[in-house]
Amino acid sequence: MQNFNKGLSAKSITDTEWQEIIKLNIKLPNNYKSIPMDLPDNYPEKVLHKKGKSFNYQLSYDFKKLTDRHLDNIKRYRQDKHNKSIRKADLSVYRLTLNTILTNIFYLKDNWLRCSLHAGDFTDKPFGYKTFKNCIDYLTANKYIDIVLGEECRQTRLKPEPKLIDELKPYKYRPLKPSRESLIILKDKQKKRRDISPADKKKLKPLYDSLEFINECTLKYTYDLPDIDYIPKLTYYRVFNNDSFNQGGRFYGHTFQSLTEDERKTVKIDNKPVVELDFKNYHMNLLRLGENLQIDPTIDSYKLHTFSRDIGKSAFNIALNSQKKKSAVMALRDVQGMSYKDAQKALNELENSNPELKQYFYTLRGLKLQYMDSLICEEIMLNLLKKDIPIISIHDSFISPAENESILRDAMNEAIYNRYNKTIPIERK
């Protein structure tokens, strides 16, 4: 199974720590850029802390009295230490932030946790940078956690002190359920998260209720996963874009979505092997259906004359989500690591091989297609879950126990047909 740790920056290891590494006879290649993560148990603690487990910002176990007590302490700490009070309107965010920190510590026990203390990393988080930083400062100052600040591009590490571990001992393990507030995220045109108004929350109640039902059903089943270095997340949240609840809306967050295609084939749900069914050329075919254009199942529209299918698919998605061709060329260049000239050539080939779709490129059409595929995704998941059949969404493909393949295929066909009176080819991954 793949280890998800990416390695340690050689620059972040001190001279003293290097001496410890030399003593342990760990051989590194001459051109190394990082230290391998399969380290022995007797590796120095000061180096081990740089390994760590990934902090999950979307999880929140309700610790109730414990959270309220620490919230009262934070208010006093902020007043005494900084002569600043916490606004009443911010208390719920502080409570959520504390719950998330305590949840990660509770589920990962005494492991070091990797987290960010960079303000720019909090644009898509359920709480802001300042709130998170204030909670971390309070917990560190009162010796509830030990912390090692990140160096250069490295993340900060934190670990619970014994007195916090003791406070968490009375709580029993249970499947993690996200808070209702974190289920739906709205981003503005600058891709920054913004607050959802009470009026909008009221209008979105059916979406919140549907997503809570999907998450509760998903948590009922058991999952055999590859070895990973973070808390598996078995629930979803939805992200809407451009200040609109009619753009984006895709389901994110489930651990299966971060696994490779090969890794997904090895997982089991309720101890049963799985099957993954995929809508072929999904967004391209959704666009064709929406514009009453013909779908030829024998043609792979992502295939380009000169470049690989992977580059063709990337070029199509970038073209649909860009406003100008020049920005699409630069985005494709960066994503695929190719020259500007080759990226431009790939987009030209895409236009020439799909002339009937050319008018929709560079029009930001992609987010509207994402909204449509999110509605289709919701219908497919609800269809199976209401029959007590496990299902996992990977956006344009779905995973379920292999014994339910025909039921899953029928649900996927039905969801498309209900909207377009036609279907999209489905293939088994």
Mean pLDDT over 75-89 rounds to: 89
Task: Specify the pLDDT at position 228.
Answer: 66
Asked if the model's pLDDT at residue 112 lies above 90, the reply is no
What band does 231 get if pLDDT is binned at 50, 70 and 90? low
What is the model's pLDDT at position 229? 60
pLDDT reading at 47 higher than 80: no
Note the residue count of the chain. Answer: 429
pLDDT at 11 over 60: no
Position 69, amino acid: R
Q: What is the distance between the alpha carbons of residues 340 and 332, in angstroms, rounded to a whole number?
A: 8
pTM over 0.95, yes/no: no
Top mean-pLDDT range of 77-86, 294-303, 412-421:
412-421
Angle at 337 between CA 331 and CA 342, to 5 degrees: 75
Q: Give the pLDDT confidence score for residue 34 in this predicted structure.
A: 37
Instruction: For residues 104-117, give the mean pLDDT.
Output: 81
Q: Which pLDDT tens digit goes with each residue over 304-352?
A: 999 999 999 999 999 999 999 999 999 999 999 999 999 999 999 999 9
Taking the C-alpha atoms of residue 266 and residue 288, their distance in angstroms, rounded to an integer, is 34
Look at residue 51 and tell me whether its pLDDT is greater than 90: no
- And the tokens for 118? 């960079």
Return the top range by mean pLDDT from 19-33, 44-58, 71-85: 71-85
Give dist(CA 37, CA 227) in Å, integer: 13
Helix crossing, 282-290 with 366-385: angle to 10°?
A: 100
Range of lowest pLDDT (8-12, 109-113, 135-139, 337-341): 8-12
Read off the pLDDT of each residue in 182-201 and give the average, rounded to a whole number. Answer: 90
Please give the residue that has the higher pLDDT: either 132 or 171: 132
Query: What is the SS3 assignment for 232?
Result: coil
The answer on pLDDT for 117 being more than 50 is yes
Alpha helices in 115-197 (DSSP H): 129-141, 162-168
- Is residue 49 pLDDT above 70, yes or no? no
CA gap 289, 35 in Å, rounded: 50
- Of 52, 2, 4, 48, nearest to 24 by C-alpha is 48
| pLDDT beyond 70 at 182 | yes
Question: In the prediction, which pLDDT does 58 show?
Answer: 73
Phi then psi for residue 379, to 5 deg, are -65, -45
Which tens digit of pLDDT belongs to each residue from 365-385? 999 999 999 999 999 999 999
DSSP 89: G
DSSP lists the bridge partners of residue 393 as 398
Q: Are 390 and 421 in contact (CB under 8 A)?
A: no
Instruction: Assess whether pLDDT exceeds 70 at residue 21.
Output: no
Average pLDDT of the residues in 225-230: 69
Report percent pLDDT > 70 for the chain. Answer: 83
Give the whole-angstrom CA distance, residue 309 versus residue 296.
17
Q: How do strand 113-115 and strand 268-269 relate by DSSP bridges?
A: unpaired
Please give the pLDDT value at position 50: 46
Which one, of 365, 258, 262, lies nearest residue 318 by Cα? Answer: 365
Q: What is the pLDDT of residue 17?
A: 46
Q: In this predicted model, which residue has the larger pLDDT, 69 or 232?
A: 69
Residue of higher predicted confidence among 124 and 390: 390
Predicted local distance difference test score (pLDDT) of residue 226? 77
Burial class, 192, CB count within 10 angstroms (exposed 0-12 / middle 13-18 / buried 19+): exposed
Structural domains in the chain, CATH included, are: 8-48 (no CATH), 53-168 (1.10.10), 180-281+367-428 (3.30.70)
**Per mean pLDDT, which of 164-173, 187-196, 411-420 is the most reliable?**
411-420
64 or 2, which is more confident: 64
CB 94 within 8 A of CB 84: no
Q: Are 424 and 282 in contact (CB under 8 A)?
A: yes
Q: Beta partners for 230?
A: 54
Q: Average pLDDT over the chain, rounded to whole? A: 84
Higher pLDDT, 176 or 126: 126
Model confidence band, residue 73 (pLDDT cutoffs 50, 70, 90):
very high
The DSSP H or E segment spanning 410 is helix 405-420
Position 60 confidence tier, pLDDT thresholds 50, 70, 90: low
**CA 122 to each of CA 9, 97, 99, 139, 191: distance values in angstroms, whole numbers, following the listed order:** 23, 12, 17, 20, 11
Task: Extract the tokens encoding 242.
Answer: 């451009």
Does the pLDDT at position 2 exceed 70?
A: no
- Does position 124 have pLDDT exceeding 60, yes or no? yes
What's residue 52's pLDDT? Answer: 65
